Structure 1
Amino acid sequence: MKKYVIAAVLSVSTLLSGCGFHLRSGPSLPDNINTVAIDSARAHAPLARALDKHLNVYGLNSVDKSALSTTANSIHIYLLPEQLERQLLSVYPSGQVAEYELIYIVRYRVQFPGKEALMAQFEVVRDYQDDPDQVLAKSRELELMLDEMRDEAADIIIRRLSSQAVAAVNAP
Structure 2
Amino acid sequence: MIWRHAQTTLVLGAALILSACGFHLRGTGDVSVSDEWRTMHMVSNNPNSEFSREIKTRFAANGVEWQEDKSQANYQLVLGPERFSQRNLSLNAEARAAEFELTMRSTFSVRDQNGREIMPDTTGSVVKQMENDPRNVVGKAEEIRILKSEMRGELAQQILRRIAFFAASQDS
TM-score by length of 1: 0.73
* Dislocated runs of 4+, deviation >4 Å: none
Which letter maps to 2:85? E
Secondary structure of the residue that 2:109 maps to in structure 1?
strand
Secondary structure of the residue that 1:146 maps to in structure 2?
helix
In 1, Cα distance between equivalents of 2:167 and 2:34: 7
Q: CA RMSD in A?
A: 2.0
Tell me, yes or no, if the aligned pair for 1:39 and 1:48 is still in contact at 8 Å: no
Taking a change above 3 Å as real, the CA distance of residues 29 and 58 of structure 1, as seen in their structure-2 partners, is: closer
Which letter maps to 1:103? T
Which letter maps to 1:50? E
In 2, Cα distance between equivalents of 1:112 and 1:157: 17
Secondary structure of the residue that 1:32 maps to in structure 2?
helix
Trace 1:26-65 onto structure 2 (pairs within 5 A).
Answer: 26-64=30-68
Which letter maps to 1:35? T
Which letter maps to 2:111? Q
Q: Structure 2 unaligned runs (5+)?
A: 1-28
In 2, Cα distance between equivalents of 1:77 and 1:130: 37
Trace 1:7-156 onto structure 2 (pairs within 5 A).
Answer: 26-64=30-68, 67-69=69-71, 71-73=72-74, 75-113=75-113, 115-117=116-118, 118-156=120-158
Q: Structure 1 unaligned runs (5+)?
A: 1-24
In 2, Cα distance between equivalents of 1:72 and 1:89: 44
Percent identity for Structure 1 against Structure 2: 25
In 2, Cα distance between equivalents of 1:43 and 1:58: 20
Trace 1:155-166 onto structure 2 (pairs within 5 A).
Answer: 155-166=157-168
Question: Could you report, residue by residue, the CA deviation over 1:59-84 in whole angstroms, capped at 9, with x for unpaired residues?
Answer: 221223xx112x142x2111112212
Tell me, yes or no, if the aligned pair for 1:112 and 1:168 is still in contact at 8 Å: no
Shift of 1:110: 1.4
